[in-house]
Structure 1
Amino acid sequence: MNVPHQSTPIRLLLGLLLAVCAGAASATLGLSPGVAGAASASSAPPAARMQAVTPTDSNSLYTQHEVQLESGTVVREFATADGVVFAVSWQGPVLPDLSALLGGYFNTFKLEADRVRLSGRRGGPLSVQQADLVVQSGGRMRHFFGHAYAPSLIPAGVNIKDVLQ
C-alpha cells in the first residue's frame, strides 16, 4: 500500500544521502582551513577559494572562515589559533558534501546515520552525538542547515554554542 506521508521522509533521506556526494566544500574537520577546497580547486571559482582561506572573523582563540559554494550554500569553518578546523556549519539551498566537510570523521557520521535509518526512523533532522563527533543536520529542499564539530579539538575557553549560533 502506498501511503503518501511516508514518501516525503524517504525522499528527504534519499536526497540527503545523494547530496553527500554533490558539491565541493572548503572546510574539513581536523585539517587546516581551506584544505578540502584546495583539493577540489577545479570545481570552485578562484574568488570562492580565496574567500575560503581568508578569515572573516577572528579572536585570540579561533578564526572563522566563510565561503559561498556555487550552489549558493554558505559554509563556515572555525579554526583554532594553530590552524586546525574544530567546527563547520552550513546553510543554503543544497546540502554540502559532508564527506569533504567531515573528512576523517565522516565514517563515524555515516555509521551513526545508517544506525538511525536501520532503526526505522526516516526523515526529520539528523543528530549524531558521539564522543569524537557532534553533528546536527536538517532542512528540506532549498533550505538545508547544520553544523558539526569535534569536541576534542575545541580550544580551551571556547563555548561551542556561542561559536555556532
Structure 2
Amino acid sequence: MSKVILFYVVWPAVLAGAMSAPGMCRAELGGMASPAAASDAAVVHSLTSGLFQVRTTTDDGGTTINEYSTPAGEVFAYTWQGPTMPDLKALLGSFYDSWHDGAASAQASESALHATRIARPDVIVESGGQMRSYVGRAWLPRALPAGVSADDLR
C-alpha cells in the first residue's frame, strides 16, 4: 500500500472511527481521575508502593484501557490493548493538538505502517498493531511521579 493511500485514506478513516466511538466516562491526560460510576465496570488497582493507581475499563469496542493517576488523582498516562483504537481525542484532551501535529509530520516522513512513536515535549504517544489488534500508551513525561518510568506503564 502506498504512503499516499495510507496517509490520505486509511489514517483519516481510522481516526474518524476512533473519534466517533462512544466512550466511557474517564478523565483526560492531565485532568483529575473520574470516580467509577455504579454502571462502570472499572476495576481499581493500587500498587503497594502507593506511587500511582491504575483504573482499568473496557470501552464499547472491546479495548481495555488503563488509566494511571497519582494518589492525588491527576491522570498522567493511559495504556490500551484491544480490537479497536480508543478515542484518542478524549484520552489526550488538551494534548490532542500537540500529538496530532506531531503525527501529521511523522506520517509524511516515516515508512512504519504498523507502529508510531510521537514524542513531543508535553506528551508522548506510542501506538501500534494491525486491524483488530491495537496496543499503545500515552503519557505526560513531566507528570510521571518520582520513581515511576515509562517502563512501568503496561
Q: Shorter-chain TM-score category?
A: 0.7 to 0.9
Equivalents in 2 of 1:70, 1:141: separation in Å?
16
Range 72-81 or range 18-27, more displaced: 18-27
Is the Cα–Cα contact under 8 Å of residues 55 and 67 in structure 2 kept in the other structure?
Answer: yes
- Aligned 8 A contact 2:106 2:118 in 1: no
* C-alpha distance in 1 between matches for 2:12 and 2:69: 31
1:6 is aligned, of 2, 17, 42, to 2
Partner amino acid, structure 1, of 2:11 = L
TM-superposed CA distance for 1:124, in Å, is 2.6
- Corresponding residue for residue 15 of structure 2: 17
Deviation at 1:121, TM superposition (A): 4.4
Deviation at 1:113, TM superposition (A): 0.8
For residue 126 of structure 1, report the CA deviation from its aligned partner. 1.6
Among all aligned residue pairs of Structure 1 and Structure 2, give the percentage whose two residues are the same amino acid. 29
Instruction: Return the match for 2:46 from 57, 65, 71.
Output: 57
Q: 1:6 to 1:66 in 2, by over 3 A?
A: same
Residue of 45, 68, 78 corresponding to 2:58? 68
Consecutive unaligned residues in structure 1, runs of 5 or more: 39-44
Q: Tell me which protein shows more helix as a share of its residues.
A: 1
Structure 1 position 19, deviation (Å): 3.0
Paired letter, 2:45 = T
Please report the RMSD computed on the Cα atoms of aligned residues, expressed in angstroms: 2.5
Which blocks of at least 5 consecutive residues in structure 2 are unaligned? none
> In the alignment, which residue of structure 1 is the partner of 2:145?
155
Question: How much has 1:122 moved relative to structure 2?
Answer: 6.7
Aligned residues: 149
The CA deviation at 1:146 is 0.2
Tell me the distance in 1 between the aligned counterparts of 2:82 and 2:56.
13
1:34 equivalent to 2:43? Answer: no
TM-score (norm 2): 0.83
TM-score normalised to structure 1 length: 0.78
Secondary structure at the aligned position of 2:113 is classed as: coil
How far apart in 1 are the matches of 2:10 and 2:46?
A: 33
Cα distance in 2 for partners of 1:116, 1:148 equals 16
